[in-house]
Amino acid sequence: MTNGDSIIKDLFGIVDCSLLSFSEGMENGKRCKTIHLTYDGPVPPECAMCGGKTYSHGRRDLNIADTPMGGVPTRIVITFPRRRCSLCGNLWQPTFSNVNEKRKMTDRAYADIAQRSLRTTFRDVAEDYTLTHMTVKNVFEDFIHDYEWRLRFKTPAFLGIDEIKIKKIGEVTVITDLEHRTLYDMLKGRNQQALTDYFMSMPDREQVLWVCSDMYRPFQKSIGTAMPNARWAIDHFHVVMKANEAIDTIRRDLQQGMSKRSRINTKRGLAYTLKTRRRDLSAEEAMKIRLLRDDPELNPLAVAFDLKEDFFDIWDENPQSKDNAMKAFDEWERNIPEDKQYDSFRTLAQTVHNFHEQIFHYWDCPIAISNGYTECANRLIRETNMKGRGYSFETLRGRSLYRKSNLLSIINGDRYEIGPRILTNGPLFTTEAIDTDDPTEDEDDDWEPFPEPEYDVDETTGEILD
């Protein structure tokens, strides 16, 4: 290898090529650098297929994109010979290291575009490379697909499941690690068969001990089929939320017999107050509740407010004792007035009976299990989708799951396990892995620590801060 060849290899990672020329010009109204290389590697005199003699079949140019140099888009043009076999007609041309010929760019440009696409829009990346935004989108999706086998997440012991609806994509099932507050995966759709197939293919699925979700019944069969050691706990916020729905039903029924002005005033003054916790009422809101008790027409709202508060207190006043919580629920159900006006609370009581085991599993779980982080992840996924408007599911999943440092690490190394380890002490809030000296880990586990996350997280809510 000549000194010139060595420089080309060091600069671009391309071997068997030497520099011909360097030029600058304009492309799509923007300055662009072009580096001309020529192939000077070995040329086979015989056909690799049949051994026949080859003859020259002209020269061609391979035009590829490279990472910007000094902020200026850069192109590399490699001129190379071609040989054709005189016997079988097989055509030979050289292959180039560190070049993605499918996408017509260097491997480092391929990776750089994928990393930039996590931080900014496809159009902004396309501007830096003088490519179309659709090309950047396709590169990002190709990269995620090519390297997905290296991006493996540890199977959580505490799994959260929820769904969101994304315009142009449809229903998306979001799966999180509740113990470490990280996004684990996203699945298109949420029908029972799709969920069961996914969970059956999950590695180490026997390690899942708890699953928290809403009251979507198909979860029960999927969890029972695929996770032999898991127990299903229904997120208690989804349960107590139904008490607010019950009180809204009673308020709307009362408003049916009111004049338009009274109905509007009641809605404006009470819709929010009735769903506020007693401990959070302002002095003015507390006065409104007291006035309801003295008004024969509106007194049912005060009774409904008390029923709602007592239902919330099942969790608040019995944080440790499952038996006391179950007794508190039985007492609450007995105290529902017989008047048909309060049927919405009887419907709530029936819902608790229908999911009695799963709801009261809340007290059996070793952590105060909640799907709050999954709801937070849903919001972040929606925000990610809004930034791009019209992402495909694969693009949205890639942008949500993977981080810049993750992608950089899989390029520079071998197989990596991204995500927190179950034995790691302390909570983790991102998909970034951290270092550990835990002697229980496998000695051949070839992973390295990643840089610190590029954002701050509220340790109480798990939300990413601005």
Read off the pLDDT of each residue in 25-44 and give the average, rounded to a whole number: 88
- ∠ CA 439-441-447, rounded to 5°: 120
Q: Is residue 322 scored above 90 in pLDDT?
A: yes
Please give the structure tokens belonging to residue 216: 């979507």
Question: What separation in angstroms does the CA of 330 have from each of 14, 61, 123, 233?
Answer: 74, 80, 59, 20
Nearest partner of 18 among 30, 34, 7, 29, judged by Cα = 7
How high does pLDDT run on average in the chain?
81
Sort strands 182-188 and 170-177 into parallel, antiparallel or unpaired: antiparallel
DSSP output for 420-454: --TT-SS---SS-------TTS-TT----PPPPPS
Which one-letter DSSP state was computed for residue 276? S
* Contact (Cβ atoms closer than 8 angstroms) between residue 205 and residue 363: no
Provide φ and ψ at 76, rounded to 5°. Answer: -120, 125
Nearest-angstrom CA–CA distance, 406 and 115: 9
- Give the pLDDT confidence of 93-150 residue by residue, as tens digits: 999 988 988 889 998 898 888 888 877 888 889 988 988 888 998 888 888 777 766 6
Q: Is 11 helix (H, G, I), strand (E, B) or coil?
A: helix
Of the two residues 160 and 70, the one the predictor is more confident about is 160
* Contact (Cβ atoms closer than 8 angstroms) between residue 301 and residue 292: yes
Type of residue found at 290: R
Sort strands 99-100 and 54-69 into parallel, antiparallel or unpaired: unpaired
Q: What is the pTM of this model?
A: 0.66
- Give the pLDDT confidence of 223-278 residue by residue, as tens digits: 989 999 999 999 999 999 999 999 999 988 888 877 766 666 665 668 888 999 99
Q: What is the pLDDT of residue 2?
A: 59
| Residue 317 host element (H or E) | none
Q: Is 83 helix (H, G, I), strand (E, B) or coil?
A: strand
